[in-house]
Amino acid sequence: MENCSRLILIGSTGRNSGKTYLAAELIRRFKDAPVTALKITCVERRNGPCPRGGEGCGGCAINSDFCLEEECSCGGTKDTALLRVAGAEKVFWLRCLRSSLARGFDAVLEHSGGAGPIICESNSLSEVVKPAFFIMIRDSSGEKPKPSAEKVMQKADITLQSPVSAENIEYLLKLLSKKGFNFE
């Protein structure tokens, strides 16, 4: 497992728990750092069905080991566009086979420019990369955690309850500052 001292990883136990909100808040707080934002979607097989059921958005239907797309627009409401609006210099969406996650992340590192923090939304990346800091957001709905979260919850440096509060963010900024991330 490779270490990535630039990586702040945000995972969650369920959908719509506040990962993008937290990522955007962290991006806004960085001072003078070229932040790279990353959203990861893992699938089990090429051109497979949407893991959420139904037709889905088409994002899961990849025909290669991984697909890396850069968000260049600040328009729209996609998570990646919201991260761009928050101030990320580069924003990527990595869609990949679970078995190709490490290779896909290597491609992100190649394209990110090698400087500044990487803020990533993913549970699965913690299985192949050791981040500088791993945040897990626990969904407040009471539903059972999704399988990708159950596998990695014990690796989290901190678990926050959804919805993430301003106090949680301030506390988190202090912890990240102790890890060497600059928010001043």
Any idea what the CATH number is for the domain that residue 63 is in? 3.40.50
Q: Residue 119 in contact with residue 8, Cβ under 8 Å?
A: yes
The percent of residues above 90 in pLDDT, for the chain, comes to 65
**Which band of pLDDT confidence, cut at 50, 70 and 90, is reported for residue 71?**
confident
Per-residue pLDDT for 47 more than 80?
Answer: no
How far apart, in whole angstroms, are the C-alpha atoms of residue 32 and residue 58?
36
Q: What is the C-alpha to C-alpha distance for residues 44 and 28, in angstroms, rounded to an integer?
A: 33
- The residue segments making up the domain with residue 82 are 2-178
DSSP strands (E only) in the chain:
2-12, 36-43, 66-70, 90-97, 118-121, 129-138, 158-161
Answer yes or no: is 69 within a domain: yes
Q: Is a pLDDT exceeding 70 seen at residue 168?
A: yes
- CA pair distance 112, 167, nearest whole angstrom: 30
- Nearest by Cα to 83 from 72, 91, 93: 91
User: For position 23, what pLDDT does the model report?
Assistant: 97
Asked whether 19 and 12 are in contact (CB, 8 A), the reply is: yes
Question: Is 183 among the domain residues?
Answer: no
Domain count, the chain: 1
Tens of pLDDT, residues 92-133: 999 999 999 999 999 999 999 878 999 999 999 999 999 999
pTM of the model: 0.90
Pairing mode, strands 129-138 and 36-43: unpaired
**Structure letter (DSSP) for residue 99:** G
pLDDT at 80: 84
Residue 151, pLDDT > 90, answer yes
Neighbours of 70 (CB within 10 A): 12
Decide if pLDDT at 32 tops 90: no
Determine the average pLDDT of the residues in 56-62.
Answer: 57
Does 54 map to a domain?
A: yes
